[in-house]
Structures are given as structure tokens and as C-alpha cells.
Structure 1
Amino acid sequence: MKTQYLKVASFCAALSLIGCNTSKHKKANTNLNKVHFVLTDTGQDKFYDNEGNQIDEPSKEDAFYGQDAQFKGIESSYQDNGDGTVTDLNTGLMWQKTPDFKRHNFYDAFNYVENLEIGGYTDWRMPTIKELYSLLNSNGELYPQDLEKSQPYLNTDYFDFEYDKRMPFAGQYWSSTKYVKGPLQNIKMEGAFGFNFADGHIKAYETGLYFDGSKGVHDPGNNVRAVRGKENVYGVNNFVDNKNGTITDKATGLMWQKADNGKTYNWAEALQVAKNRKIAGYEDWRVPNTKELQSIVDYDKKTFPAIDENFFECTEDSWFWSSTTQGDFKYTACYVAFGKAYSKDNSSATEYYDWHGAGAQRSDPKSGKIEDYLLESVNAADSLRIKNYVRLVRDFN
């Protein structure tokens, strides 16, 4: 069980004192709630095998021991403020409850947010990709032909969500985080990250500009869910090199394996590696879940890999397994790309490019051979790998 870093009750009391002020002027200028970099649990509470079958909870001797649902983290906790806003009681961030469900291009999205007034507050902003990903609930599952049966990767008890009926898989929401390591898509386009609450992926999307700043020919749009709260707190790491092959992030309370071992594994093998590994005298290592793994991505670094190399050693062209099964295709597990996230234009194209950016979170088959999987289409053709790298984690406290 992860250590709870917040005294939620006292935090809620502080929020209630702030919330009792009904003056529009005062609410708009109230000091922002204190923000905490608290990683909450992904919400995944079921166990799966390589084929995506639901199984009983594995014991430590079983093949699939160590997956996401095995380790319960801090439970997500929200408060509906009754004024169109929702407060995350763990992080302190306040969110827009109901988006306008309109697609904005990247730069127009900032104008939209700057002109928002919700609950009497006017200091709304675009979330970073780490802030946006904090809302992830990994119990999502998309049934394109049966949206009533579908569940977005979001807690809909508190947040409103609508599927695009024409393209149900297109539930992308912008973050403020631009892709700074280079151009996307045929080495031309400027990108910015977003999270898709319909299918549970982080990807970089076209902003409408070429990477040189000139106007692009394609100007796509994504949805927007605004946030308010002190900036540069959630998602900001505080790494310490323990000089014993481990790195501690004092911001999250997690201890990390400093260097990957340069080897790749299928998903079950990665879980086995964690079970058998002893580093710096510790034996309680695990494969990180998606929120934990994404927490150490360096989105501001302009070179590959997308991790702070002042602390970590990382194979450059690397994708790293998480312990989290992907909800739509349960025979796949989620990974985070710390190197280029390759894809191609469509299933008939032959050349792969850095389509979604280092820092993307996608999924790969847990086992088998690449040719066994027909996941490409006229709209999606991500590069697949059966074997990925692994960087282990443990709770520091």
C-alpha cells in the first residue's frame, strides 16, 4: 500500500473555507489552492493474462504476478463543487467539470481557456500533459459499435464526457505541453501532447503549424478541459541519486532503478524480472504502472531519450513496459516511449516516422509475433514491438 502523503480531511476543510466565499470578484482573485504532486492509483482492479482473459489474482509464484491491480496506490478522490468545477482532493487541482465538447486547434485552445469563467473563477489555464494524465482511470474500455457499453478513461461520476459519434475513438484533449524534440509526421509538423480519454493513450498531435512555425495545411482540433491551480508543482520531479544504483524522486515518494539493463522482454518476462530483482539490498521492486512511469518523462528536454540523464541511464531508442493492461485490447499492455514513437501514414505506407513523440503512452501485444497482430488500418499504423525495456520502481517510504 502506498503511503498517503496528504491529510485529506484537513485539506478538504481548507477547501470548504475557500468555497464559502460567493463573491465573484473575490473568487476570481482568491489565492490558488495548494497543489501537490501526488500520484494516484490508475484504478485498474482486474487481472489479465497474455490473451486478455480475466484471471484470478496471481500469487507470487504465478506467471502474471506483479501487474497493476496487484499494488493498490492512493485512491482518487474528487469533490464536485456544484458550480461547474471539480476539485481533486489529492492534487489540489481544480478542473472544469463540463467541456464545451468542441474541437479547438492548439493555439485557439489557449484563447478559449483564457476567456473562461466557471464558478466565478477566471484564472483557468491549459493543463500540462502530466496534470491532464492525473485524471486517468484505467478501467476504460471502448466499444465503437456500442457506446452505451463503453467507459471512458475518466471518472464520469465527477467529469462529463461525450464520445464523438462519428469517430468514437477520437476523444483527444489538449495539454499545454508542446513536443520540443523535433517535428512529427514526415519530419514536418509541430506537435503538442494530448490525452485521449476515449482510448487511453497519450500522443502528440499536429498544432496546425509546421515545425519551422509556418502555417500548415492541416489544422486539426482537440477538446479542452481547463484547470486551475499553482503551476510548476504537479509533475515537477525532485530526484536524488542514492549512489547505489537507485534514484529517489522526493516529489512522489518513489525509488527508481537508475539504469535499464539494455535488454528487452515480453510483458510476462518483464513482470518476472521485477519479481527476481534485488537492487541496493531491496527486493520489493515492481514494474511501474502507467502513471508512475509517465511521471519520470522529461517533456522539456530537447534531446532523446525523454528522461533526465543527469540521474538516469537509458537506452536511447527505448519503449518501457508498464504493469497496466490496455483496456480496449486486453491482450496488450501499456508502454511509455522514451525514444521516438514510430508510426506511419496508414497501413499501406512503408516508412515509419516519429509520429506521436517521445513521451507518448501507447500499447503493445503482451506476447507472440508481430505478424500475428493486425492492428493497422487506414487511420492508424503504429509500430509494434513484442519486447520492450523495463525500469523497476518501489515505494521509498
Structure 2
Amino acid sequence: MNMYLKILIFILLGFSGCKKTDINQVNVNGITGGYKIRHTGVYKYYDTISVISNPKSQSVFFIQDAKNYDVSDNFIDNGDGTITDKVTGLMWTKNLTPKLRLEDVKVNLSQINAGKYNDWRIPSIKELFSLIDYTGQVFGDKSIRLFIDTTYFNQPLGNTAIGEREIDAQTWSSTDCQSLTMGKDKSRYGVNFIDGRIKAYPITEPFSGLPNKLHFRFVRGNLYYGYNKFIDNGDGTITDEATGLIWQKEDSKIALDWKSALEYARNLNLVDHNDWRLPTIKELQSLVVYENQVDETGNASISELFQTSRRNNPNGTLNYPYYWSSTTLLDGPQPGNQAAYVCFGKASAFFNGQYVDAHGTGAVRSDLKYLQHANYPISFGPQGDLVYVRNYVRCVRNVK
């Protein structure tokens, strides 16, 4: 953001006494509630293995997404190929484009902007992630339920007839990754509505060297969506006036498995409130500052108002923790035994004998909820993603 614009915003919003505002992430219209976070869509309860019947209030599994179900779906099909989201104030195209290179999308934007509206744009990664629906499910690419509401939105699978996997149907955002993924690739963030994840995808295909092609879904309206307005309350909490959430300024300072993370949140008593909880994945992702570059001189991808632990890669290189959400991600042969997390540092992997950032800071991935091996982290999958299972916690509560 231009420095003169920051100063103007600060003057317009006024001083906040001894409380500190993060001007870099301020909601530029100064209006509370401009960044309403849609619910994950998860209305079932889960333990560490699978779905369970509704737990009693004293259960550690009581406070998760199904309990915090305060923003329901409110889409409107306008009958003209567009969908309005009354929760976020955004309007979307119902259909995706064919897979396109980044440099080719201008033609499509010009065509759609010649119609009824002329302000369509490529969504930011926060705008695009607002559409994700965690009632989706993946079974090792064999049986898939999409992570987007197919009542309103069309979402293809990857074309297996030409050698693609079904999950190869990602959607580009407008948000560039500030570091090289896999140690060499210039990348841009996208959302995979087939498997429920955010990753930074190479602009050029790593093996062929040809321009990478992904889908686009265009958006218009609410130019302030995704801009936070953080206020340091001076009592160990930070309020985001844009989202209506209050956050723990510090994190847990220790790594915990998922059940222990729920227990930590349940037992937290901060500023005389005991209604702290583990955030949903969409709430947690709202904290990411995708403009930050995590390197040996950098910061975690979060506002400087927050205090963030450091967890280095196994070779000692700088990194920051992954943070648990309360959101169960249904994947693999035992759906219900994984929960989603956000990388506030590098989305690390051990690949070809090196530790690399595989998917970009701010990536959304998932871990098993329980320890399955004696020693973590372990390297898993084709890109060698580091699996910790014990992740960190930053609790949240709603502004009353």
C-alpha cells in the first residue's frame, strides 16, 4: 500500500487513544464488518477419528465448527450467469473459464466487462477462499464431493482422459506468492475446490517449462473484502473490527495435537472471558498477510501486532508454526481423522534432499489429528510435505 495512502487512512480513521491500529491491514473504508467470514458449512461434530453424535457441552469436542454456526449460506442465483453472496457482498460468475494462462485472462475479462457490469476482476485469495465449503470430501481421488456449493456454482473435475488427476482443476487468484516455491518456481495462489486446499501454483509448469493453466472465476463488488482492521486492546487481545472477531495476541507457545488444541482453547481464560475457541479454517485464514515474505530476515505472514512463535525447519532454517483450525477436512480412507491448518511460515517440504517451501506461506493443508509415528516431522507425499501433527494454536472469540 502506498505510504501516502496509509497516512491518509490514518488521518481519516482518527487516533485510537493508546490502542494501536495496524495501518497495513486496515479496512480502507473504516466501516466495521466489511469482511464478514462465511461459515465452513460443517454442521456435524467430529472426534479425532470420525463423525460423532452431538456431544454434550462439557465435552472437549463440543466447541467446533458445528457449534459456531452463525453465518449460514445466503447465495442468490440472479438467473444471468451470476451469483450474489449476501454474506460477503460479493458477486460471482456461476461458471469457470476454461483453463487459461495468466497472460490470456485479459481477453475473457474484456468480454465479460462488455456486458451488464464493467467491474469484474480476478479475486484475491481471500475472496476466492470465501466460497469454499468443507462439506466436501476426497477419497484418494476415487470418490469426490466438491468443496463448493454445486447448487449455485459449476465446478469441473480434472480431465482424466488426457492424463490429469480429478483434483487437477484448481482456480487462480490474483494474489502472487512472495517467495519461490520448490526453491525455484515463481508462483501464484489458487484454491482447489476438489480437495479443499490453498496452495501457490507455479506460473510455469515445473517439468515442461510451458505456461501453467488453471481456471478463473471472476468477482465484483465489496472492494473491502479481505482487508482487516486490527486494534491492539493492550490486554493480550487483538480485535479485528472488519471481521468482528477478537484474537489471542500470543499463541500457545507449544505444539499440540488436535484434541489437545481443543482442550487448550477450552481452558483459556483471558481478560475474564472463558468463551475462547479454536478458530474455523476460514477465520484463521483471514489473519494471513500474503504480502509478507518469509525469509531469513522476514516475519511470519501475520500482522506485526501479533506475537508469533518460531519453529525452524529440521535443518535449522527459519520458519514459523502451522496453526490448527477446528475444521475437519474429509480426506483419505478414514474421513474425519484430519483437520485443516494454516501455514503462517513456509509450507515446508523435504524434496530432493533439500528443505523447500512447497506451497507458499499462507497455504491451507491438513494433518492427522493424532500421533501415528514416534518421530515428527515426517516427509509425506510426492513433494515431501512436512507433517508435524503437533501444531500451534491461536484462539478466537466473537465480539459480543
Q: Secondary structure at the match of 1:183?
A: coil
Write the distance in 2 (CA, Å) between the matches of 1:207 and 1:145.
24
Alignment of 1:1-397 (within 5 A): 36-51=34-49, 53-100=50-97, 102-117=98-113, 120-143=116-139, 146-147=142-143, 150-166=144-160, 167-180=165-178, 182-185=179-182, 187-208=183-204, 217-231=209-223, 233-302=224-293, 303-309=298-304, 311-316=305-310, 317-329=320-332, 330-345=336-351, 349-370=352-373, 376-377=380-381, 379-397=382-400
How far 1:382 sits from its partner (Å)? 1.7
Contact 1:129 1:193 in 2 (8 A): yes
Match of 1:31 in 2: none
Q: Which moved more, 1:63-72 or 1:128-137?
A: 63-72
Count residues in correspondence: 346
CA-atom RMSD, angstroms? 2.3
Contact 2:93 2:219 in 1 (8 A): yes
CA distances 1:296-340 after superposition (whole Å, capped 9, x unpaired): 11112233300011x111124110000000122421100000010
How far 1:57 sits from its partner (Å)? 1.7
Write the distance in 2 (CA, Å) between the matches of 1:355 and 1:75.
34
Calculate percent identity across the aligned residue pairs. 38
Write the distance in 1 (CA, Å) between the matches of 2:398 and 2:166.
37
How far 1:105 sits from its partner (Å)? 2.3
**Displaced runs of 4+ in structure 1, greater than 6 A?**
371-375
Q: Give TM-score scaled by structure 2 length.
A: 0.81
Structure 1: which 5+ residue stretches go unaligned?
A: 1-34, 211-215
Contact 1:115 1:122 in 2 (8 A): no
CA distances 1:57-111 after superposition (whole Å, capped 9, x unpaired): 22233242322222212112111111111111111211010113x2222333344
Write the distance in 2 (CA, Å) between the matches of 1:41 and 1:220.
31
Q: Which amino acid aligns with 1:339?
A: G
Q: Secondary structure at the match of 1:367?
A: coil
Q: Which amino acid aligns with 2:242?
A: A
Q: Secondary structure at the match of 2:330?
A: coil
CA distances 1:201-239 after superposition (whole Å, capped 9, x unpaired): 0011111299xxxxx9243221111111243x0010001
Write the distance in 2 (CA, Å) between the matches of 1:229 and 1:200.
24
Q: Secondary structure at the match of 2:180?
A: strand
Contact 2:73 2:87 in 1 (8 A): yes
Q: Which amino acid aligns with 2:38?
A: T
Q: Which amino acid aligns with 2:173?
A: S
Contact 1:278 1:285 in 2 (8 A): yes
Contact 2:130 2:282 in 1 (8 A): yes
CA distances 1:229-272 after superposition (whole Å, capped 9, x unpaired): 243x0010001111000000000110000011311100000000
Write the distance in 2 (CA, Å) between the matches of 1:230 and 1:91.
8
Write the distance in 2 (CA, Å) between the matches of 1:64 and 1:321.
14
How far 1:190 sits from its partner (Å)? 1.1
**Structure 1 pair 110–352 and aligned structure 2 pair: CA distance change class (3 A):** farther
Write the distance in 1 (CA, Å) between the matches of 2:222 and 2:185.
31
Q: Give TM-score scaled by structure 1 length.
A: 0.82
